[in-house]
Amino acid sequence: MSRSTVLDTLLQPWRALRHRIEAHLYARGVRNASVRALLARQCLLAVVAMGVGVAGGIFHPWLLHFGIGVGIVTANFYFLATSIARRLESGVQGPLVASTIVRFYGRLILTGVLLAVLLVFGKISLAALLAGLSTVVATILIWGVESYLAQHSKEA
pLDDT value, residue 92: 63
Long-range contacts of 43-49 (CB under 8 A, 24+ apart): 43/74, 43/78, 44/14, 44/17, 44/18, 45/70, 45/74, 45/135, 45/139, 46/70, 46/71, 46/74, 47/17, 49/132, 49/135
* pLDDT score at 86: 75
- List the domain boundaries for the chain: 3-153
pLDDT surpasses 80 at 87:
no
Please check the confidence at residue 155 and state whether its pLDDT lies above 70: no
| Distance from C-alpha of 41 to C-alpha of 50, rounded to nearest angstrom | 14
Task: Let me know: does 78 contact 91? Beta carbons within 8 Å.
Answer: no
Whole-number pLDDT of residue 28: 83
pTM over 0.85: no
